Amino acid sequence: MSFLRYALKKLAVMLLTLYLIATATFFLLAATPGDALSARVERLPETVTQRLYEKYGLNKPIMERYITTMKGLLHGDFGESIIYQGETVQSIIRQKGPVSARLGLQQMLLGVTIGLLLGLLAAVKKGSLWDYLVVVFSILLISVPNLVFALLLQQVFAGQLRLFPVIGWPKENIWLGGWEYTVLPTLAGCFGYIASYARLLKASMLDVMNQEYILTAESKGLTHREVILHHVLRNAFIPIVTYLPMSLAMCITGSFFIESVFSIPGLGLYYVNAVAAQDVTIVMGETVIISAIYIFVIFITDILYSIVDPRIRIKGGKR
Amino acid sequence: MQATPRYLTPDESRRIGIVALQSEKMQRRTQTYWQSAWRKLRKNPLAMAALFALIIVLFFVLFGSRISGADYLTINARERNQAPSAAHWFGTDTMGRDLFCRVCQGAGLSLLIALICAMIQIVVGCAYGGAMAYFGGAVDSVMMRIVEILVSFPELLVTLLIMMVIGKNTLGLLIAMSITSWCGTARQIRGQLMQLRETEFVQASQMMGASPARVILKHMIPNTVGILILNLCSSIPSYIFTEASLSFLGMGIGGDAISLGVLISEGKTKMDFYPWQLFFPAIVLIFVVLAFNMLGDGLRDALDPRME
C-alpha cells in the first residue's frame, strides 16, 4: 500500500532528523568555550570543584557524555538543570509551556483572522482604494519589528495611559484569567500574522482568479459572489493550509522578544537565558522537544497533504 | 497578353512615387525583459520612492558623520542626554556621544551585515540548488534530504547556539545567521530550474539546435535572476530584524561595534526619560526595512512577465 509506505518513509526521516538535531546540539554545546560551572567554581576549593563536576558528569570524556545523553534521551530523561537545582526539562516545560502557548495562540487567532479578512478584501476589490490601503498597511506592519511594536505599546498604553499593566503575566487560571496582562503582548505579536496572511491570501486568490476554470465558471453564468466563494476561495486556501501548521509550530517559541519586553515567564525567554548560562541539559532538552514538535507538525502536514492531493505522494518531495 | 500580378520592384515604385509599405518591419524596437521590467518599475511611484530613500540612507551612512562634523565615539561628559538640537541633530546619548553619527554608523553596520548574509544566502543557495537540478537522480535526493534536515532545525535555536560557540562578534553573527539561511533559496532555484527544463520554449530551443550554453545563458539564467533579486530584497529586512533582535537580547554583536539593534537596546533603558534615544534608531530601522519591502513589492510586479 503506497500510502502506508509513504507515511513510514516520512516517519523514518523524521526520527533520523531528530537524532541528527540532538547530536548537532550536543556537539555545539560541547564546543562552546567554558561551561555552566566555570563561573560558579571560581572561588571554590579544588575538591568541591571536582565533586561538582563529577555530579553533573562534566569531567567525563566527551564521547562518554554523548552516549549517556543519548541514552537518557531515549527514555525521555534529559537530566537536571545545572543552574536551577532540582528543575528538570519536564518540570520547566510544564510550568512555562502553557504561558508561551497561550500567548502564541492568542496572537495567531487574532492575527490570522484579521489577516485573512484583509486579504480577501484586497483580492475581491482588486485595484480599488481598499486594495491599495491593505497593501500599504501590510507593508507597514511587516516593516516594523514586533520588538519595536512591543516597546511602543508598552510605553503608550501601559506607561502613559495606564490602561494595562506594564509587565507581568496572570499567575492563576493560566488559560483564561488575567486578560489585561495579555492584551499588549498579544497585540504586539499579532501584527506579523496580519501582514503575512493578508499578503498570502491576496496573492493566492489572484493566482487562482487567473486560472481558466474561473473563466469557465464565470461564463457558465455564476455570479461573482458564487465564483469567489465556491471556486476561488476553496482553491486559494491550499497555500494557507500549508502555512498554518508551520505558524502553529513556530508560535510556541516565536515570541522571545515580546516575552523579554513584557517579562513574561515563557519558554522562549527561558531558553535564551539557558543558552546564555550554558545550562547544557536544559538547552539540550528544550532544543530536542521544540524541534520534535516542529518536525512532527511538518510530518502531519505532509501526511494530510498526501491525503488531500495524492499527486504529491506519487511524485514525492515538493512541500 | 496578360501580365502576371506581381509586386513592384523598389526601382519601379520609386519611379512612380510610392514608398514601399514596410508592414513586415517592426515599427518599435523590441524590448528586452530587463528593459520592460525597468519601465514597469519606473512607473511604480512607491518603488521609486523606496529606491530614492535607500540612496539617501546610503548617502548618510557613507558621509553622515562628515556632514554633521561629529564623531560617533567621542565622549563628552558635559553634553549628556541632550535633546535634539542644531549641534546634535538626534541629540546625544548617556555618554554625550552624538546620536546622529551613531545612528549613521549603526545603520551602516546593520546594512552591511544584512547585505553580506543575503549574498551568502544567494550564492550558496544558487550553487547548491543548481547542483541538485544539474545532477538529478540519487545525488539530488541525497542533497534534498540534507536540506530537509537542515530546515527542520528551528532557526533561532541554531543562531543562538552558533553564536555561543563562535562568540558574540560580527563574524559569529554572520556565520550564525547564514548557516541554514540558504536552504530556502536552494529549493526555490532547484524547483525553478527543473520547471524551466520542462518548458516548451526550452525544448523548442533545444530542438532548433541551441547549444547547452545558449540554453543556460538565454533561458535558464534570465528566468531565475528575477527570483534571486526578489529573494535578495525580501531577505535583507529579515536579516536586519534578526540582527536587531539578537542585539536587543544581548546575544548580538558585542564590544565597541554598534548596529541599529545595539542602539535600540541602549535606547530602551532610557525610554522613559529620553525617548528620542530609542525613537531615532527605531525610526531609521523601520525606514530602511520599509524601503526594502516597498522596493521588493515593486520588483515582484515588475519582474513577473505575466503582469503585463
Question: What residues of chain A have any CB closer than 8 angstroms to a CB in chain B?
Answer: 13, 16-17, 20-21, 24-25, 28-29, 31-33, 135-136, 139-140, 142-145, 147-148, 151, 155, 159, 210, 250, 253, 256-257, 260, 271-272, 275-276, 278, 283, 287, 290-291, 294-295, 298, 317-318
* CA nearest to A278, candidates A33, A18, A20: A33
pLDDT given for residue A319 in this prediction: 38
Residue B249 has pLDDT above 50, yes or no: yes
On the question of pLDDT at A317 being above 50, the answer is: no
Q: Is the pLDDT of residue A12 over 70?
A: yes
Structure confidence by residue, pLDDT tens digits, A57-79: 777 777 888 888 888 888 877 77
Query: Which domain covers residue B195, as residue numbers?
Result: 56-75+91-302
* Residue bearing cell 548580538: B252
Is B45 a member of any domain? no
The shortest CB-CB distance from B286 to any of A144, A250, A256 is to: A144
What does the domain layout of chain A look like in residue ranges? 1-319
User: How far apart, in whole angstroms, are the C-alpha atoms of residue B286 and residue B114?
Assistant: 14
Q: Give B282's contacts in chain A (Cβ within 8 Å).
A: 148, 151
Which of B152, B156, B289 lies nearest to residue A253, judging by beta carbons?
A: B156
Q: Is the pLDDT of residue A318 over 80?
A: no
* d(CA A280, nearest CA chain B) in Å: 11
Helices (H) and strands (E) in chain A, counts: 14, 0
Q: Is residue B1 part of a domain?
A: no
Residues 102-161 of B with CB under 8 A from A: 144-145, 148-149, 152-154, 156-157, 160-161
User: Considering the domain boundaries, does residue B275 fall inside one?
Assistant: yes
Closest residue on chain B to A25 (Cα): B161
Give whole-number Cα distances, B208 to A61, B204, B214, B215, B219, in Å: 65, 6, 11, 11, 14
Q: How confident is the model at residue A316 (pLDDT cuts 50, 70, 90)?
A: very low
> What confidence score (pLDDT) does residue A46 get?
78
B225 Cβ under 8 Å from any chain A Cβ? no
Alpha carbons A145 and B285: distance in angstroms, whole number: 9
Q: Among B144, B153, B251, select the one facing A272 at the smallest CB separation.
A: B251
Dump pLDDT digits (tens) for B208-222.
888 888 888 888 887
Residue B200 lies in a domain: yes
Distances in Å between the Cα of A123 and the Cα atoms of A115, A207, A219, B231, B302 are 12, 10, 20, 24, 19
Query: How distant is the alpha carbon of residue B46 from its chain centre?
Result: 16
* Mean pLDDT taken over chain B: 82
pTM of the model: 0.80
Q: Which residues of B touch A295 (CB under 8 A)?
A: 152
Count of domains for chain B: 1
pLDDT single digits (tens) B76-86:
777 777 777 76
Dist. CA B222–CA B304, nearest whole Å:
12
**Does the structure show a pLDDT above 80 at B302?**
yes
What CA dihedral angle connects B116, B120, B122 and B125, to 10 degrees? -160
Q: Is residue B157 part of a domain?
A: yes
Q: In whole numbers, what is the pLDDT of chain A averaged over residues? A: 81
pLDDT tens across A136-189, in order? Answer: 888 888 888 878 888 888 888 887 787 888 777 777 666 777 777 888 888 888
| The one-letter amino acid at A148 | V
pLDDT at site B25: 60
Among residues A2, A4, A11, which one has the least CA distance to residue A300? Answer: A11
Nearest chain B residue (CA) to A136: B294
Query: For the domain bounded by A1-319, which CATH number is listed?
Result: 1.10.3720.10
Q: DSSP letter string over A162-222?
A: --S-SS----SSTTTS-HHHHHHHHHHHHHHHHHHHHHHHHHHHHHHHTSHHHHHHHHTT-
- To the nearest whole angstrom, how far is the Cα of B9 from the nearest Cα of chain A? 48
Give the integer Cα–Cα distance in Å for B299 and B267: 34
**Is B35 part of any domain?**
no
pLDDT class for A315, splitting at 50, 70, 90? low
Option in B154, B245, B286 nearest A294 (CB): B154
> What's the pLDDT score for residue B134?
83
Percent of chain B beyond pLDDT 90?
Answer: 10
CATH number of the domain that residue B238 is part of: 1.10.3720.10
Partner-chain contact B271 A151, CB within 8 Å? yes
Would an 8 Å CB–CB cutoff place B167 in contact with chain A? Answer: yes
